[in-house]
């Protein structure tokens, strides 16, 4: 099989702690009586893009929401198992959620800028951390917007309402908002499903740039996208991690029958 992209391959089983961004051990999650995630074990490598694929309802969103503990907001959710990020188990009850969420940024399916100016949107997280100095904020805003490839488009209208931006711009603004906190991990939950193909391509390129700075975990229902942008891919089925390997292998010669059925479109 011909490889389109030359990628430096890491052995997922033998990742050293330094190479691991997120380590998931025996993760189980229930919403009330409903068992949504079953015994998930995986290591997500640093500065790589890892994609989560699977049928809708299989638990992809729930899984990445575990990485910044957004599931805590759902009343009857119960989590067990360990998730180790930066050497600590974030499922520990004493985990500082504000700190965790500034280290692990998250972008949602539909762009959700706050109804404030572009500038204030990017500053939101920084201001929560108590940063008030104008210079510091200005610099952070410019840097974050550069990193999200939005600076050139909005530099003259930083104080316009964020609601005046187009969908793609809004999504990049939301990425900039997360990047302003200098996260080490960025979680993207179907970030392009509400966008047109061209904008989607633009954001995919952006991800390639961003992985130099942080680890990216992306949920997508679009297998072409997963194959295009990700280094590693995990296939989930009904809350179980069926197969997890580098994307080239997974999409060309999957190990499991279920995976093959899914990527060849036999169901899903």
- Interface with ligand ADP (CB under 6 A): 31, 34, 36, 54, 56-62, 74
The span from the CA of 39 to the CA of 203, in Å, is: 32
Residue 78 or 164: the one with the smaller Cβ distance to another protein is: 164
Q: Which of 99, 132, 157, 253 binds another protein (CB under 8 A)?
A: 99
Least separation in angstroms between CB 60 and Mg ion: 6
| Of 167 and 208, CB closest to another protein | 167
Is the CB of residue 191 less than 8 Å from the CB of residue 180? no
> Considering the complex, what minimum distance in angstroms separates the CB of residue 110 from ligand ADP?
13
Give the 3-state secondary structure of residue 247: helix
98: partner contacted, choices Mg ion, ligand ADP, another protein, none (Cβ within 5-8 A by kind): another protein
Rule CB under 8 A: say whether 177 interacts with another protein.
yes
Considering CB distances under 5 to 8 angstroms, the limit depending on partner class, which of ligand ADP, Mg ion, another protein, none binds residue 174?
another protein
Q: In the complex with another protein, which residue's Cβ is closer, 19 or 109?
A: 109
Query: Among residues 99 and 253, whose Cβ is nearest to another protein?
Result: 99
* Residue list 7-66, contact with another protein (CB under 8 A): none
Nearer residue to ligand ADP within complex by CB, 57 or 167 = 57
Residue 258 near residue 268 (C-beta atoms within 8 A): no
Cα separation, 245 vs 229, whole angstroms: 14
> How far from chain centre, in Å, is Cα 119?
23
Which of Mg ion, ligand ADP, another protein, none lies near 181, with the C-beta cut-off 5 to 8 A by kind?
Answer: another protein
Select from ligand ADP, Mg ion, another protein, none the partner in contact with residue 74, using the beta carbon and a kind-dependent cut-off of 5 to 8 Å. Answer: ligand ADP
Q: Which residues pair with 30 in a beta bridge?
A: 35, 78
Q: How far is CA 24 from the centre of its chain?
A: 15
Give the CA distances from residue 83 to residues 45, 58, 80, 162, 266, in Å, rounded to whole numbers and listed in that order. 14, 20, 9, 35, 33
Q: Decide: 82 and 28 in contact? Cβ < 8 Å.
A: no
Stretch binding another protein (CB under 8 A), from 3-11, 104-112, 144-152, 215-223: 104-112
Q: What whole-number distance in Å separates Cα of residue 20 and Cα of residue 12? A: 9
Query: In the block, which residue shows the tokens 């633009």?
Result: 202
Residue 74 vs 99, nearer CB to ligand ADP: 74
Report the alpha-carbon distance of residue 70 to residue 73 in Å, rounded. Answer: 6
Among Mg ion, another protein, ligand ADP, none, what binds residue 108 when CB lies within 5 to 8 Å by partner kind? another protein
Query: Which partner in another protein, ligand ADP, Mg ion, none is near 133 (CB below 5 to 8 A by kind)?
Result: none
Q: How many CB atoms lie within 10 A of CB 79?
A: 17
Provide the binding-site residues for Mg ion, judged by CB under 5 A: 61
Beta carbons of 245 and 228 less than 8 angstroms apart = no
* Min dist. Cβ of residue 105 to another protein (A): 7
Q: What angle do CA 19, 25, 27 make, to 5 degrees?
A: 130
Minimum CB separation of residue 243 from Mg ion in Å reads 19
């Amino acid at each position: 099989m011909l490889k389109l992209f030359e990628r430096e391959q890491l052995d997922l089983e033998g990742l050293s702690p330094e190479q691991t961004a997120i380590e998931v051990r025996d993760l189980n999650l229930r919403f009330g009586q409903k068992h949504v995630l079953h015994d998930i074990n995986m290591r997500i490598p640093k500065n790589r893009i890892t994609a989560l694929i699977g049928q809708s309802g299989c638990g992809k969103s729930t899984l990445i929401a575990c990485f910044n503990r957004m599931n805590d907001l759902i009343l009857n959710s119960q989590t067990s198992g360990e998730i180790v990020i930066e050497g600590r188990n974030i499922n520990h009850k004493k985990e500082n959620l504000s700190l965790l969420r500034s280290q692990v940024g998250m972008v949602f399916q539909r762009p959700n800028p706050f109804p404030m100016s572009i500038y204030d949107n990017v500053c939101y997280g920084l201001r929560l951390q108590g940063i008030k100095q104008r210079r510091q904020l200005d610099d952070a805003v410019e840097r974050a917007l550069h990193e999200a490839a939005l600076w050139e488009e909005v530099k003259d209208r930083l104080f316009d309402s964020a609601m005046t931006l187009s969908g793609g711009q809004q999504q990049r603004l939301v990425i900039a908002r997360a990047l302003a906190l200098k996260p080490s991990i960025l979680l993207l939950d179907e970030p392009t499903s509400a966008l047109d193909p061209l904008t989607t391509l633009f954001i995919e390129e952006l991800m390639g740039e961003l992985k130099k700075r942080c680890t990216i975990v992306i949920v997508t229902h679009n297998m072409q996208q997963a194959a295009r942008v990700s280094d590693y891919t995990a296939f989930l089925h009904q809350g179980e991690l069926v197969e997890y390997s580098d994307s080239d292998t997974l999409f060309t010669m999957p190990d499991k029958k279920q995976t093959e059925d899914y990527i060849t479109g036999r169901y899903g």
